[in-house]
């Protein structure tokens, strides 16, 4: 869980990431001319960004390494390596980032694996997945234990140098939605009470979540995306009913029926109000 992968430096690249000109060792003007020519040759290429620009989203705040077994706290949606957050909960029941009380007695009950984020990290960081598999394989072999089936011998994962391919030659990926994400949400913003300022608009109103998620989780999601202050309250409404924070989304679907659905999505309206005095 180190911040770098063996043999890969901070400026290393793969896919759409590019080494900074200062790290390439070449002449700056020559690199600029080359990048301009490359852009002319590949006008449809995506914009390249250095990997370090994404560190805030793909590194664990506890070990400062890239996420391994990314695990999210359901109460505040902060993510850490699984081993890091489990060790942290041995002596604390608070989130390391925001200090919210995760659970009074059993904080382990309030963490969930974030497989989508972990897949993104493995695709962004060169050779991280192969390196982690090698570490796990060596750990079990050194102790004479049976290697778990998902972890194969490192020999079956040959390391190949990155190759640049044209966009139209890349194979089309098959995206499958995990079975646990069984509820599609449409979050409609209805307005804000006078006196509330300094909030960001909700850029994406379509979300797919687990039916076990509660209205409280929806509120936390809205608070995080809109960067709301603590003195602002989020009211979530389905139809004509003000929802309770403890209600699960599956319960809301079953209670409200088809009237709450639009194109197969559960429609929730929310507004920002000041707390009652």
Structural domain tally of the chain?
A: 2
Give the pair of three-digit tokens for residue 198: 């300094």
Q: Is residue 9 part of a domain?
A: no
Q: Is residue 40 part of a domain?
A: no
Indicate whether 133 and 205 sit together in one domain.
no
Q: Is residue 207 part of a domain?
A: yes
Q: Is residue 106 part of a domain?
A: yes
CA–CA separation, 248 and 214 (whole Å) = 4
Q: Is residue 160 part of a domain?
A: no
Task: Annotate 117-137 with b (16+ C-beta within 10 A) or e (fewer).
Answer: bbebbbebbbbbbbbbbbebb
Q: How far is CA 40 from CA 20, 45, 46, 48, 189, in A?
A: 19, 10, 13, 14, 42
Domain that holds residue 77: 53-142
CA–CA separation, 104 and 268 (whole Å) = 30
Q: What is the pLDDT of residues 76-105, one digit of tens each?
A: 999 999 999 999 999 899 999 999 999 888
Q: Is residue 235 part of a domain?
A: yes
Give the pair of three-digit tokens for residue 165: 């391919």
Which are the contacts of 241, defined by CB distance < 8 A and separation ≥ 6?
256
Task: With beta carbons less than 8 A apart as the criterion, state whether 250 and 267 touch.
Answer: no
CATH of the domain at 188: 3.10.20.90
Q: What is the pLDDT of residues 19-42, one digit of tens each?
A: 343 334 444 454 445 445 444 555
Q: Is residue 59 part of a domain?
A: yes
Task: With beta carbons less than 8 A apart as the criterion, state whether 253 and 183 touch.
Answer: yes
Q: Is residue 219 part of a domain?
A: yes
Indicate whether 68 and 127 sit together in one domain.
yes
Q: What is the pLDDT of residues 211-238, one digit of tens each?
A: 888 999 999 999 888 888 888 889 999 9
Kindly report the pTM of this predicted structure: 0.44
- Residue 22's Cβ-side half-sphere holds a number of Cα atoms within 13 Å equal to 2
Residue 200 has pLDDT above 90, yes or no: no
CA–CA separation, 87 and 62 (whole Å) = 10
Indicate whether 190 and 124 sit together in one domain.
no
Indicate whether 115 and 58 sit together in one domain.
yes
Pick the last residue of a domain from 142, 166, 196. Answer: 142
CATH of the domain at 137: 3.30.40.10
Indicate whether 129 and 187 sit together in one domain.
no
Pick the last residue of a domain from 142, 171, 205. Answer: 142
């Amino acid at each position: 869980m180190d911040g770098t992968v063996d043999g890969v430096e901070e400026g290393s690249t793969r896919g759409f990431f590019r080494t900074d000109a200062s790290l390439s060792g070449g002449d700056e003007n020559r690199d600029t001319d080359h990048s301009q020519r490359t852009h002319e040759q590949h006008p449809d290429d995506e914009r390249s960004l250095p990997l370090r620009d994404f560190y805030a989203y793909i590194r664990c705040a506890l070990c400062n390494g890239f996420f391994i077994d990314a695990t999210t706290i359901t109460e505040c949606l902060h993510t850490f390596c699984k081993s890091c957050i489990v060790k942290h909960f041995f002596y604390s029941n608070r989130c390391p980032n925001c200090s919210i009380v995760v659970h009074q007695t059993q904080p382990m009950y309030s963490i969930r694996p974030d497989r989508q984020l972990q897949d993104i990290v493995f695709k962004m960081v060169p050779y991280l997945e192969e390196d982690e598999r090698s570490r796990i394989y060596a750990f079990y072999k050194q102790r004479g234990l049976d290697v778990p089936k998902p972890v194969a011998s490192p020999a079956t994962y040959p390391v190949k140098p990155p190759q640049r391919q044209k966009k139209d030659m890349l194979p089309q990926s098959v995206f499958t939605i995990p079975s646990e994400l069984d509820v599609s949400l449409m979050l409609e913003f209805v307005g804000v009470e006078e006196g509330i300022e300094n909030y960001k608009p909700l850029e994406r109103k379509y979300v797919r979540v687990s039916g076990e998620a509660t209205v409280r989780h929806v509120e936390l999601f809205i608070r995080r995306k809109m960067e709301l202050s603590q003195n602002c309250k989020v009211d979530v409404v389905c139809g004509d009913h003000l929802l309770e924070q403890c209600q699960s989304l599956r319960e809301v679907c079953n209670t409200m029926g088809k009237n709450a659905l639009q194109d197969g999505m559960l429609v929730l309206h929310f507004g920002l109000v000041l707390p009652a005095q």
